[in-house]
Structure 1
Amino acid sequence: MKNTAKRKTNLTQKLGIGKGGFKKAIRDGLLLSSNDKDAYECGIKFFNNCCAYCGMSGDVIQLTADHIVPSAKGGRFVKGNIVPACQKCNSIRRDQPIDDFVNDPQVLEKIKDFQSIHQFKESEKSLDAELGENGKFILEQLDAVLIIIRDVAREAIRANERNEILPLEEWVKDINEVTKKYGLI
């Protein structure tokens, strides 16, 4: 029983306000139609199926797509911004600026060359530029909805632990009000 309760608590923590997989999924969904579907393959080819940061071969380890300009900072899934990275490098880097993460000048130069070849300009390919004012407004207002969802999830876990039934009518009313207020429905 303890493991189940702990797992559920961790799940609600992932609904963190202003961060987390849920908000990232919403942001990525808004931009899905304008992503470069072959951006990752382009990076794999340029870096010879190796991690752009440490050079580890994709034949030896699994590579993942990493944003040079982090998605948390407006970076997009487009050619010139997606490079292959091993799990270790991707995990350590998180959302650090590329200039802070890469210490080897030759590696940094190769990454900059990759961006240059694909004419990647951070300002033109940013989340804000792509979403426009309406998209940015919707994304910013998602926090109000996420707060309600997080509170419902937390209260549902507490009610379950007390073997109580959770009345959801009030939260449904709150969600309806917020979504109508911000034009999300």
Structure 2
Amino acid sequence: MHHIRVLIVGRHALLRDALTAVLSAHRTIVVVGQTSRESEAPRLVAETCPDVVLLEPSHRASQKVVTRLRRAAPETAVLVVPRLIPSLAEPELCRLGAHTCLPVNAGRDGLVAAVTALVPSRRPESAEPSVPCLSPREQEVLSCVESAMTNQQIAHCLDIATGTVKAHLHSIFRKLDAVSRLDAVTKAAAYGLLP
């Protein structure tokens, strides 16, 4: 079963916790992290590889964050959670790359529907599982992960930038439908992708 990976970004702990509780109750959604600081969002996206970022917008900073998120992880959808923001800000955020703005009256079912609608459908459960195709570099990165190396150690070992390691990990997580480093290594071993 494919789990939709969600990162929650917002100033208010109560809202973050409520969103986490609602989404975690859904069997196909995994909340991979949350932060109160919009400035941390691009780094957390690189580390956790979410399918969707739920963003509780602040004022001007949100526009910069949406732009940075779209550049850093164009495949990650951005869903803006309603707040006391001027109505003009929502179209601006969508113009900058947010995929949609959740209606104020969406409720629990509306939130889950919006999150699931942003993730492309996967193969049917009954279909034969296909072996994911990892690039040679992704296999090298995964072998380093199997050896419990940090991103910085992998970058040094493979003579690439730490950001490149994070991009490879994001791709590996998606291809293997993994929710953690350990899950990625376990699934890759099951598919016979590791030596």
Normalising by structure 1, we get a TM-score of: 0.23
Task: Please state which structure has a larger fraction of its residues in strand.
Answer: 2
Q: Which of structures 1 and 2 has the larger relative contact order (alpha carbons within 8 angstroms, sep 6+)? A: 1
Larger Rg: 1
Please report the TM-score for the alignment, with normalisation by the length of structure 2.
0.22
